[in-house]
Amino acid sequence: MPKKRVNNTGSVYHESGRGYRAQVSLEDGRRVSKRFSDSDLGQQQAYDWLHEQLHHISKGVFVAPTDITLGEWLLEWLEIYSKQNVRQRTFERYVSLAKHVNPIAGYRLQDLKPTHFQKLYVSLGHYSGETRKKVHNILHAALKQAIHDKLLPYNPMEGVTPPKVVRKEVITFSKEEMEALLGYAKTHRWYPALLLAAHTGMRLGEVLGLRWQDADFNDRCIYVRQTLQHPSTGIKFEPPKSKASRRKISIPEETVATLREHHRQCMEDLILRNNPHGLYFTANNGSPIQPKNFERWWAKLQLRINDEWQELDKQREELLAKKISAKSQEYREIVAKQKVAQEKHHKKFHAFRHTHATDLLASGENIMDVARRLGHSKASTTLDLYGHAIPANDQRIAEKVGKLYKL
């Protein structure tokens, strides 16, 4: 009568000319084995592996060997666990970040060690700390899911030191720059959108997603109820990312008057009046404004307040007036300098939001009120970003303490 195989047990045996093989029998009848070298060390490694697997089985954390690589698992994790649970633009960012993992993508999932990830972060040293930290975060999330899927017994990133993020000082506009930008934009049909952003600190997607129904002129406020996003799949309207982002923002009388006039002009223009989404700000044909088009206009607007660029542009025009070829060395040098000047002084549209928050805090506004206005879920986020703008009152505090504890 054949000997009955007992589950959750194992053995080590020698295969002539092939080395030692350790084998474990599982509850479901499967057998899991691993081959080792034909030497005393190989025999010892086989027994060590066997005891480790039996220990994992007894603790309920056994994981069957698999040849799936980190790269293969990341692709699976992105498609199955990530794509359905995040917004399209966020998913596209995850895919972009996953490409940074290429140097270690070929390693088997179960062979990964903390040193692999630390070396990866070193190789990504030319990227910002924030980018490297985001790579760390998606790797950690993907490997955490691999544990739930019984592909790993533990997360090899638990012993990894996350890349350090040094937060850069936020970029803002001076009062003079703000006045100049708004002044130059005043004749453009997108001026009301620019003014609204300056007076509310709204994100670009929130401004471009604003509908007529979201403005209450009687109460002098607007409601942030949706955002316009433009992932690779095309224009999308989405609800704000968090409960705090869905908010009511009071606006000054000047903004109300500008929005009223903009609304009146849209009502007179049949194309703009009939935009299907009821958007406050649209392209010339009534369709939603593509963020990249708005950013392009925004970049050109900033050149108007760029003295260095303007001086170079004057020199360029003089060359053309002298009928000097645009292919000449002199002309190309000026154009190259203009490009450098533009890149040096260009500020992203988000700088309007930073300026709004910084100016409010610098004027003494309560940080909780500013956080609500910006749509931050926690005041700590506002404090972390803009705390430097809060006026220092150390001398006044010292005087108060002296009065409180005066003997």
Residue 320 belongs to what domain range? 306-345
11 membership: H or E segment, kind and range: strand 10-15
What is residue 154's DSSP assignment?
Answer: S
- Distance in angstroms (rounded) separating the CA atoms of residues 161 and 336: 42
How far from chain centre, in Å, is Cα 165?
A: 14
222 plus 285 within the same structural domain: yes
- What count of Cα atoms within 13 Å lies in the side-chain half-sphere of residue 109? 30
Query: Parallel, antiparallel, or unpaired: how do β-strands 221-224 and 19-25 relate?
Result: unpaired
**Residue 289, Cβ neighbours under 10 Å: how many?**
22
Question: Same domain for 208 and 290?
Answer: yes
Q: 128: phi > 0 → left, psi -120 to 50 → alpha, else beta; which?
A: beta
Relative to beta strand 227-229, strand 221-224 is unpaired
Kindly list the averaged pLDDT for each block of 10 residues, start to end, along the chain of length 407: 52 87 82 87 90 82 84 95 89 94 94 94 92 95 92 87 85 94 94 96 96 94 95 90 94 95 89 85 92 94 91 88 84 90 90 94 92 94 86 71 70
**Number of domains comprising the chain:** 4
Beta carbons of 386 and 358 less than 8 angstroms apart: yes
Do 237 and 133 lie in a common domain?
A: no
In a domain, 353, yes or no: no
CB 181 within 8 A of CB 305: yes
- Is the pTM for the entire model greater than 0.85? no
- 131 and 186 co-located in one domain: no
Residues 234 and 291 in one domain: yes
**Residue in 102, 141, 105, 100 with CA at minimum distance from that of residue 124:** 100
137 is a domain residue: yes
Domain boundary among 276, 295, 314: 295
HSE-up of 191 (CA within 13 Å, CB side)? Answer: 19
d(CA 83, CA 62): 29
Residue type, 158: E
Look at residue 39 and tell me if it is in a domain.
Answer: yes
Residue 142, SS3? helix
* pLDDT reported for residue 8: 56
Listed in sequence order, the DSSP H helices in 241-327 are 253-268, 270-273, 291-303, 307-321
Asked whether residue 259 is domain-assigned, the answer is yes
One domain for residues 116 and 220: no
Handedness of CA 349, 206, 131, 98 (dihedral sign): negative
Are 195 and 273 within one domain?
yes
Residues 206 and 99 in one domain: no
Domain end, chosen from 129, 148, 167, is at 148
pLDDT of 302 reads 94
CATH for 201: 1.10.443.10
The answer on 277 and 213 residing in a single domain is yes
Residue 238 φ then ψ, to 5°: -130, 155
pLDDT of 3: 41
Q: Side-chain half-sphere of 358: how many Cα atoms within 13 Å?
A: 17
Tokens of 153: 């017994």
**Residue 287, domain member (yes or no):** yes
Tell me if 381 is assigned to some domain. no
Cα–Cα distance measured from residue 355 to residue 340, given in angstroms and rounded to the nearest whole number: 24
Q: Are residues 76 and 143 in the same domain?
A: yes
Beta strands in 158-279 (DSSP E): 215-216, 221-224, 227-229, 236-238, 247-250
Radius of gyration of the chain (CA): 31
In a domain, 397, yes or no: no
The verdict on 187 and 93 lying in the same domain is no
388 in a structural domain: no
Query: What confidence score (pLDDT) does residue 219 get?
Result: 95
Residue tagged 């260009």 (tokens): 346
Element (H, E) at 96: helix 88-98
Residues 286 and 310 in one domain: no
Please name the residue that has the structure tokens 């474990």. Answer: 24
